[in-house]
Structure 1
Amino acid sequence: MVLSPPYTATVAGDAVALRRVVANLIGNAVKFGRSSVSVAVSRAGTVCRIVVEDDGPGIPEAERTAVFSPYYRVERSRSRQTGGTGLGLAISRQIAEAHGGTVVAEAGANGGARLVVTLPGLS
């Protein structure tokens, strides 16, 4: 994990719920990434950003909004390796929004998925 200067990014909120956001995003990156996952935390003013990126197949541009809908899955095979209910990203977005933040999906630098969480931080 990389923590960019100023080396602190403090957010007020429900610690258990916010941990779930990070755990969901990292869990997805580990599940769908081929060989690497990166997590970066930064702060600009009072806005904190968490970026989780993998080198997997990514999320097609046309599906980057839909993946936040409950039960939506890009990978629909439901295999043991990629099983799940399709709720993780929906829950993550709901938690972030309840804390005044957002979660968006983007194309990653290595072709995989890049999920960006922004949350209002403390000054």
Structure 2
Amino acid sequence: MKNFLHSANFSNRMISGMLILLFGIVFLLDNFNVSMPHWLFSWSTFLLAAGVVVGIRKNFQGNAWLAMVFTGGYFTLSAITEFDLSSYFFPLAMITLGLYFILKQPLRHKAQLG
């Protein structure tokens, strides 16, 4: 029998609960007029966090989490810094895609597993 602490249900609840708690603390601090960075409440930061959560839940398998992390990270980094990232986006995307194809584990078919 699986230990409750190692079950997928507990892990999903823990991650979801920690994110909701974190967002609640951030919004409470914002209501108390504690200075928060403007980029913290942007769609790109939310997309970045959602990509990390999806990656954790899927054990970083698949590509959806990677697309969300890169898109959210690009726009969040652009909001944080005044550095113009647009001229570097395409070369960095190509380098990242090349590394992904090189380092990606080959898919195993069900016939090979058995």
Give the TM-score taking structure 2 as reference length. Answer: 0.26
Write 1 or 2 for the structure with the bigger share of strand. Answer: 1
Structure number with larger C-alpha Rg:
2
Give the TM-score taking structure 1 as reference length. Answer: 0.24
Write 1 or 2 for the structure with the bigger share of helix. Answer: 2
